[in-house]
Amino acid sequence: MPKRVKFRKWHKGRKRGKGKASASLELNFGSYGLKSQEHAWVTARQIEAARRCLTHFLKKGGRVWIRIFPDKPVTKKGAEVPMGGGKGTPEFFVAIVKPGTVMFEMEGVSLEKAEEAMRLASYKLPVKTKFIAKK
């Protein structure tokens, strides 16, 4: 969740299947990464679940970088609220992920261990992912 935001509520936008990621396409920090292959809104809770999965599997070895940040607020109105009455309150934050976005990076472990950790973390995410390694 962001510390401060300029606008409390955003427009929803469209979750269309168009466009690929223009930033975060390559590994910048670690030797291994987890790359998205689909469009999705990844919630802060999903990112945290994947992070915990990675750090738990690695025990004390290796280092993990999270390359996505949930900065888009998603609003909801309460149950059984009549039509009208304006936009609901912000409920949670999401990161907009496009195909080709590197979501997590890792370093300091063997290829096999990194691949297994990323596989376990990918189960926590709502997108199809691909394991990538530096050449």
Residue 15 lies in a domain: no
- What pLDDT shows up at residue 24? 84
| Contact (Cβ atoms closer than 8 angstroms) between residue 98 and residue 24 | no
Note whether residue 53 is domain-resident: yes
**Over its length of 135 residues, how does the chain's per-residue pLDDT go in tens digits?**
788 888 889 898 877 667 888 888 899 999 999 999 999 999 999 999 999 999 999 988 899 999 999 999 999 998 999 999 899 999 999 999 999 999 999 999 999 999 999 999 999 999 999 999 997
Q: Any idea what the CATH number is for the domain that residue 70 is in?
A: 3.90.1170.10
Q: How many CB atoms lie within 10 A of CB 133?
A: 14
- Confirm whether 1 is domain-assigned: no
Does 121 fall in a domain? yes
**59 within a domain of the structure (yes/no):** yes
Residue 19 lies in a domain: no
Asked if residue 123 belongs to a domain, the reply is yes
The SS3 assignment for 18 reads coil
Q: Judge whether 10 lies within some domain.
A: no
Q: Do you know the residue count of the chain?
A: 135
In the prediction, which pLDDT does 25 show? 86
Domain count, the chain: 1
23 within 8 A of 66, measured Cβ to Cβ: no
Looking at residue 4, what is its pLDDT? 87
Q: Which two tokens stand for residue 118?
A: 């990323």
Residue 36 · residue 101 · CB < 8 Å: yes
Full residue range of the structural domain in which residue 112 is found: 32-74+89-133
